[in-house]
Amino acid sequence: MAASEAVLQVVCGSSSYDFHNVTSNKSKGFNTRKRSSVHVQAQISSRPFRASKGKHVFHGTNKLESLVCNCKRVESVNGDTNNNHEGAQSKLDKIQNSGSLDEIVTDSTQRGEAMGLDVAVKHNNGGFTSKDKLHIDGLSRDSLNKVSENSIEDEAWDLLRSSIVYYCNNPIGTIAANDPSSTVILNYDQVFIRDFVPSGIACLLKGEYDIVRNFILHTLQLQSWEKTMDCHSPGQGLMPASFKVRTILLDGDDAATEDVLDPDFGEAAIGRVAPVDSGLWWIILLRAYGKCTGDLSVQERVDVQTGIKMILKLCLADGFDMFPTLLVTDGSCMIDRRMGIHGHPLEIQALFYSALLCAREMLTPEDGSADLIRALNNRLVALSFHIREYYWIDMRKVNEIYRYKTEEYSYDAVNKFNIYPEQIPPWLVEFMPSKGGYLIGNLQPAHMDFRFFSLGNLWSIVSSLATAEQSHAILDLIEAKWAELVADMPFKICYPALDGQEWRIITGSDPKNTPWSYHNGGSWPTLLWQLTVACIKMNRADIASKAVQVAERRISKDKWPEYYDTKRARFIGKQARLFQTWSIAGYLVAKQLLANPDAAKFLTNEEDSELINALSCMISANPRRRKRGRKKQSFIV
Ligand code: GLC
């Protein structure tokens, strides 16, 4: 096995799988984690559905501790995938062929019950349903026609369960989409880090902790560990965009298979984009896990602490950039293809800020980390000042920009970034309500991207990157612009769409990102959960409830699409996957949180007083504010 391939190998068919031992190499300082696959061998019994050799022992207080793992991989011998759909389909085929229903049910039930989940079986829409749902299938047509809110929720749970991906028979994540009608799978059969976040939260809120814990610890194993100068390798600390569980046959033994975790850091992704958001989401989910379960042992582990620090170091590293915002390439987040969001896009900044706060909460004090914590604190203050001050626009600010003087050469210029007022787009004048405002999409020298990016704005509320006043104003704007941002399906990814020459230049004539489609003004149901957290945080849950009701009109009937097209979200996206897991999970999280708003605290960050003090000092020292009352002095070259 090439050095760049195998990181660790655990023969789970014959030995215990000990997370502590597996991961402790890192804490010992061994450089064993490279950017390659993680292998776990599963020695399989030759009898189908009957192997129970491996015993997975997870240290800690989780339910898997005593689970005897059934490494029943024989049904997927040809497949290189652990795709749940294929696995379950293959199982059903076997049921039909062998008639060994009891065996299958017992086997699956053991695994399902150990997780506290229902057992997935094939559903006639191509998705899967639980055994409880089978009962529902027996109901009369009349009662089926009464599509209640609850039945949508039940269906969503069934679909979420069926999207679970197993690694050595343990739940480890959820597949991005489980669309049986799709002929082109691309990488939608993988577990995406960002896509798993709502799935993980839905599980946490339901009391299903193991899958999240497994996800956190296994993705940690995939984190890029080796610092390399090779421009084709990810930098130290980078988390992959996605990973796939491959089940492969071992050479010379057709009864033995090996489970392989195969990460993608963007080197295979369309456009080769680096997933900057993955590590940030990982930190946010880790903190949510601790808050929700009360189990801090995961975040306190040495290897997890090291993982957090590696992400932080990567983000806090010095570069050529002068701003406290994180400088990234285009498509480094949920919008993972060219959309003119290179530079300092809001979404990354909001996640960065949130991850810094979460990390600060979780880092255990130790001698070596004082510098890192100092750097983190400095960055938090500078970042929130920068975003609140320079990204914020409302009617008053647009008017100020409209009258900006340009070409100011001075330390205390008012128009610091030399924004030419001609940049104010005509749509903004219509879009900006008299009450409300938002954070712009991006800020660069002589460039303000005035587009409204939803995730960045919502997460700025959630993380307290925006002030309380700004947060309310963003929600005011959402209410005022309901027809533009929600319309027939929540929630528009950004507003407005790029069109014409602008679309040609900025997207590179991307046929997937045509106006009002996909990332270019498409509507993404997954954003419901972030909207809900933001609304609950600001005590305005009614806005989220209304959006959920809008979604419920169509989302299940439309088979849980990935996104919707057109200005008012009237069509299912042209290339949208159906049964997209994060559309399902996003809806579920929204429902769970609306039913139990207190749980939103697992995800929100409150501003601390130290930060507020530091900020008010900076704001009072800011020339833009200071100068409002005095004569303007500018230096023109
Ligand atoms: C698309 C989305 C990306 C998502 C992936 C998997 O590429 O742009 O945000 O993670 O699909 O669902």
Domain of residue 616, CATH code: 1.50.10.10
In-domain check, residue 160? yes
The Cα–Cα gap between 389 and 625 comes to 10
Distance 307 CA to ligand 1 centre (A): 24
Say how many Å lie between the first and final Cα of the chain, rounded: 63
The Cα–Cα gap between 461 and 473 comes to 10
Domains identified in the chain, total number: 1
In-domain check, residue 128? no
Whether the per-residue pLDDT at 113 is higher than 70: the answer is no
Burial 5-32 (b: 16+ CB within 10 A, else e): eebeebbbbeeebebeebbebbeeeeeb
Whether the per-residue pLDDT at 620 is higher than 90: the answer is no
In-domain check, residue 339? yes
| Per-residue confidence (pLDDT) for residue 226, from 0 to 100 | 67
Residue that is written with structure tokens 């040809």 in the block: 78
Taking alpha carbons only, the member of 395, 388, 440 closest to residue 419 is: 440
In-domain check, residue 45? no
- Give residue 284's domain range: 152-620
pLDDT tens digits, 253-310: 778 888 999 999 877 777 778 899 999 999 999 999 999 999 999 999 999 999 999 9
Distance 627 CA to ligand 1 centre (A): 45
In-domain check, residue 61? no
The Cα–Cα gap between 371 and 365 comes to 11
pLDDT tens digits, 301-354: 999 999 999 999 999 998 888 899 999 999 999 999 999 999 999 999 999 999
Higher per-residue confidence, 107 vs 210? 210
Distance 188 CA to ligand 1 centre (A): 8
Q: What is the DSSP letter of 390?
A: I
Strand 54-57 relative to strand 16-18, pairing: parallel
Residue type, 361: E
Distance 345 CA to ligand 1 centre (A): 17
pLDDT tens digits, 146-197: 446 689 999 999 999 999 999 999 999 999 999 888 777 778 899 999 999 9
Of all residues in the chain, the percent with pLDDT exceeding 90 is 61
Pocket of ligand 1 (CB under 6 A): 176, 192, 194-195, 334, 336
Whether the per-residue pLDDT at 546 is higher than 70: the answer is yes
| Dihedral sign of CA atoms 202, 116, 247, 214 in order | positive
User: Could you count the other beta carbons within 10 Å of the beta carbon of residue 512?
Assistant: 15
39 pLDDT band, cuts 50/70/90, is low
Q: What is the DSSP letter of 118?
A: P
Whether the per-residue pLDDT at 63 is higher than 60: the answer is no
In-domain check, residue 111? no
Whether the per-residue pLDDT at 628 is higher than 70: the answer is no
> Residue 162, exposed/middle/buried by CB under 10 A (0-12, 13-18, 19+)?
buried
In-domain check, residue 130? no
The Cα–Cα gap between 440 and 433 comes to 15
Question: Which atom of ligand 1 is nearest to 176's Cα?
Answer: 12
Q: Which residue's CA lies nearest to atom 3 of ligand 1?
A: 334
- For residue 366 the two structure tokens come to 């130790």
Distance 606 CA to ligand 1 centre (A): 29
The Cα–Cα gap between 540 and 102 comes to 50
Whether the per-residue pLDDT at 112 is higher than 80: the answer is no
> Residue 221, exposed/middle/buried by CB under 10 A (0-12, 13-18, 19+)?
buried
Q: Where are the alpha helices (DSSP H) in 125-275?
A: 131-137, 141-145, 149-162, 193-205, 210-222
| Contact assessment for residue 19 and residue 58, using Cβ atoms and an 8 Å cutoff | yes
Residue that is written with structure tokens 């930060």 in the block: 611
Within 8 A by CB and 6+ apart from 629, the residues are none
In-domain check, residue 41? no
Whether the per-residue pLDDT at 244 is higher than 80: the answer is yes
pLDDT tens digits, 578-613: 999 999 999 999 999 999 999 999 999 998 777 777
Question: Which atom of ligand 1 is nearest to 194's Cα?
Answer: 10
Taking alpha carbons only, the member of 71, 277, 82, 281 closest to residue 178 is: 82
Helix (H) or strand (E) holding 242: strand 242-250
pLDDT tens digits, 355-398: 999 999 999 988 778 999 999 999 999 999 999 999 999 999 99
Taking alpha carbons only, the member of 475, 409, 491 closest to residue 439 is: 475
